[in-house]
Amino acid sequence: MEKYSDNKIFVWLIVILAALAAIASYLPMGSYGPQQLTPEQMAVPKWQIALANAGTVLVFYSLLGWIGLKLSHKLGFAKMWDEKVTNKQRFLIPALIGAAAGIFVIIGDFIFARFNGIGHFPHPPFPTSLVASATAGIGEEILFRLFFVSFWMWLVSFVIFRKKFQNQIFWIVAIISGAAFGIAHLPALMVMTELSSAAQVPVALWAELILLNGVVGVLAAYYFRKYGFLAAVGIHFWCDVIWHVIRGLI
């Protein structure tokens, strides 16, 4: 019998994510987000924004995450607290891989900053960066790995091809998931750089978004399948700690 069930762990992840979403409403964004309004300028009180953010998480992420969780079981992915997976594999290895991925992103940012049209990517101020790292580590992994990878692999491999070509389809879906993960950062980047349309985004910036985020996404997908969803969360979280928290403080 498993020490902790996937359902219980998933519920705790959703609760933590909702709490982080609410807390983030009170934290400064700096150049990482749109210009913040003073309490007098805001039409809606912050507590209502925090409540709305938490409610969105509880509804949207819970639904997609639950679907992805059930499908991942059908696909034979490692469970969150799989007895065959050690804590070293579940936590330590993802932390090391995530840290290495964060260094990779920093190096990539230095290279692309020379010709991407905007220079270095901005970072949220501390402690917002730490909250954002945890929020992204849970929330974005629920969307792009737990749901996206599980759903599309189940649909293509199990439904369409009747359990054939599972490895090949997994890698295709993992790469697409990584690319989608990178593209999903475009709207926020456009706000930060004041670009009015995607057509204004330089090709080099597109390449940077997709390549750097895509590598992290593929790593997260691989270890999600191998060591369980907590491994994917760990990779993403520690990557963002290196990239946003530590790099942002330097």
The reply to whether 201 falls in a domain is yes
Does residue 154 form part of some domain?
yes
Token pair recorded at residue 167: 């490895």
Residue 113 domain-assigned (yes or no): yes
With a cut of 80, say whether residue 136 has pLDDT above it: yes
Q: What mean pLDDT is predicted for residues 67-91?
A: 97
pLDDT at 47: 83
pLDDT value at residue 117: 87
Determine, yes or no, domain membership for 174: yes
Proportion of the chain above pLDDT 70, given as a percent = 93
- What pLDDT is recorded for position 42? 58
| Domains identified in the chain, total number | 1
pLDDT for 190: 85
Is 89 inside a domain boundary? yes
pLDDT tens column, 17-47:
999 999 998 998 765 555 555 555 556 788 8
Torsion angle (degrees, nearest 10) of CA 172, 175, 185, 119: -140
**Average pLDDT over the chain, rounded to whole?**
92
At residue 233 the predicted structure's pLDDT band, cuts being 50, 70 and 90, is very high
Average pLDDT over residues 60-75: 97
Q: Does 1 fall in a domain?
A: no
pLDDT at 191: 82
Residues 6 or more apart whose Cβ sits within 8 Å of residue 10:
65, 66, 69, 80
Residue % of the chain over a pLDDT of 90:
80
Residue 174: band (very low, low, confident or very high) from pLDDT cuts 50, 70, 90: very high
Q: What is the pLDDT of residue 66?
A: 97
| Tokens at 81, concatenated | 């607290």
Q: Per the structure block, which two tokens stand in for 108? A: 């990539």
Secondary structure of the chain in HEC code, one letter for each residue: CCCCCHHHHHHHHHHHHHHHHHHHCCCCCHHHCCCCCCCCCCCCCHHHHHHHHHHHHHHHHHHHHHHHHHHHHHHCCCCCCCCCCCHHHHHHHHHHHHHHHHHHHHHHHHHHCCCCCCCCCCCCCCCHHHHHHHHHHHHHHHHHHHHHHHHHHHHHHHHHCCCCCHHHHHHHHHHHHHHHHHHCCHHHHHHHHCCCCHHHCCHHHHHHHHHHHHHHHHHHHHHHHHHCHHHHHHHHHHHHHHHHHHHHHC
Q: Which range of residues forms the domain containing residue 232?
A: 6-249
Q: What is the pLDDT of residue 197?
A: 84
pLDDT of 192-210, one tens digit each? Answer: 778 888 888 899 999 999 9
Global pTM reads 0.92
pLDDT of residue 4: 81
What 3 state SS string does 40-107 have? Answer: CCCCCCHHHHHHHHHHHHHHHHHHHHHHHHHHHHHHCCCCCCCCCCCHHHHHHHHHHHHHHHHHHHHH
The answer to whether residue 31 sits within a structural domain is yes
Residue 17 corresponds to which tokens in the numbers above?
A: 């994510």
